[in-house]
Structure 1
Amino acid sequence: MTAEVLKDAQDPTGTSAFIFNQTAPGPAKPWSWAENLLVSAHTYWLVTTSPDGVPHSRPLWGVWQQDEFLFSSQNRCGGFLEVNPRASVNLQVGEDVVMVEGSCSRVIGVDDISVLADAVEVKYDWKLSVSEDRVHTQFGQSAPVFRLTPDRVYGWAGIAEWQSATRWDFPRRVK
């Protein structure tokens, strides 16, 4: 992202989400609450759909930075994203719920892919090498890199605390 876009970007404002056939009574959670959970999560679940519409979910590592989720996958979800870039990323553990909905795009270029590789090394103590269109492990595996840009995020504190269900909308940002 350019410095101008980052400077103009503001945290999304949360509103009470429509859940369980009603609008949550609130109070809505602040964006900082959801962002903190997204940054600190160890494992996430990525949900895509096959070309014939069958849902596919899988656990993966990733990083949340500057209102985007970066990840790599050599799994079949990469092919699915070429057909339908819409996806969802969810936290794996805990009572707190955060679900990101948006569109994925391939990340190309050593500089942009290095953002993921550097963050993975810090977060997971896992070294990746980088080429123009993928990351590589020390064991000879390689995978393309993707960026999920959110349209909307949902979250609530505690699985039974649906009253705090909040929706954050992300207007499309020029990159």
Structure 2
Amino acid sequence: MTAEVLKNAQEPAGTSAFIFNQTASGPVKPWSWVSDLLESAPTYWLVTTSPDGTPHSRPLWGIWARNVFWFSSQNRCGEFLKVNPRASVNVQLGEDVAMIEGKSSRVTAASELSVLAEGVGVKYDWKLSVIEDRVHTQFGQSAPVFRLDPDRVYGWSGIAGWESATRWDFPPSR
């Protein structure tokens, strides 16, 4: 899969984010900065809530492609997302931080399952195959696939760089 296929031509505009009880003074970070951070992160933290409202956080592999976060999970978070599809994905590389807030949905179409399978192959050198409505490893494990469509993405470079804290908003109907 080429990088061109994984990129989305539409880039959201950034605005100064409200952080530490004040609005960052700027300048705002460019979309390319946070997009590169989300693409290159080796591990992500997915935050969901259980049906009783208890937060659930777990590390996972995933890919950022087409301005969407793609992941698979056999973990209970998949069951939690059925009850409440709202979730957050968080990344930290060095002092650079990004957070995606949005709504997740189960992916079953082969074309969308392939986005994750091919992306994981390129990024992690890990072979996944698509069979029916799941991805499968070479060791016989399988898992459902999800996508997290962002409502908003936040990012900044370390505590000392909080002035550049930026918020990117996405259209409500994507």
Q: Deviations over 1:96-127 (max 9, x none)?
A: 01000000000002222111101101110101
The offset of 1:11, in angstroms, is 1.0
Identity %: 74
Q: Deviations over 1:23-43 (max 9, x none)?
A: 111111111100010011111
The offset of 1:68, in angstroms, is 0.3
Distance 2:125 2:103 in 1: 28
* Residue of structure 2 in register with 1:83 after alignment: 83
The offset of 1:92, in angstroms, is 4.1
* Residue of structure 2 in register with 1:108 after alignment: 108
Distance 1:144 1:10 in 2: 28
Structure with more of its chain in strand, by fraction? 2
Conserved 8 A contact 2:13-2:31: yes
Q: Verify: 1:138 aligned to 2:135, yes or no.
A: no
* Residue of structure 1 in register with 2:93 after alignment: 93
Conserved 8 A contact 1:97-1:159: no
* Residue of structure 1 in register with 2:167 after alignment: 167
Distance 2:110 2:171 in 1: 28
Structure 1 residue ranges (4+ consecutive) displaced by more than 4 angstroms after TM superposition: none
CA 1:141–1:159: 2 relative to 1, 3 Å = farther
SS of structure 1 residue aligned to 2:25: coil
Conserved 8 A contact 2:92-2:98: no
Conserved 8 A contact 1:109-1:131: no
Gap runs ≥5 in structure 1: 1-5
Distance 2:53 2:93 in 1: 26
Q: Verify: 1:121 aligned to 2:121, yes or no.
A: yes
Conserved 8 A contact 1:96-1:159: no
Q: Verify: 1:32 aligned to 2:32, yes or no.
A: yes
SS of structure 2 residue aligned to 1:150: strand
Distance 1:92 1:27 in 2: 20
RMSD: 1.5
Conserved 8 A contact 1:103-1:151: yes
Distance 1:65 1:155 in 2: 17
* Residue of structure 2 in register with 1:55 after alignment: 55
Aligned residues, how many?
168
The offset of 1:172, in angstroms, is 2.7
Distance 2:148 2:111 in 1: 18
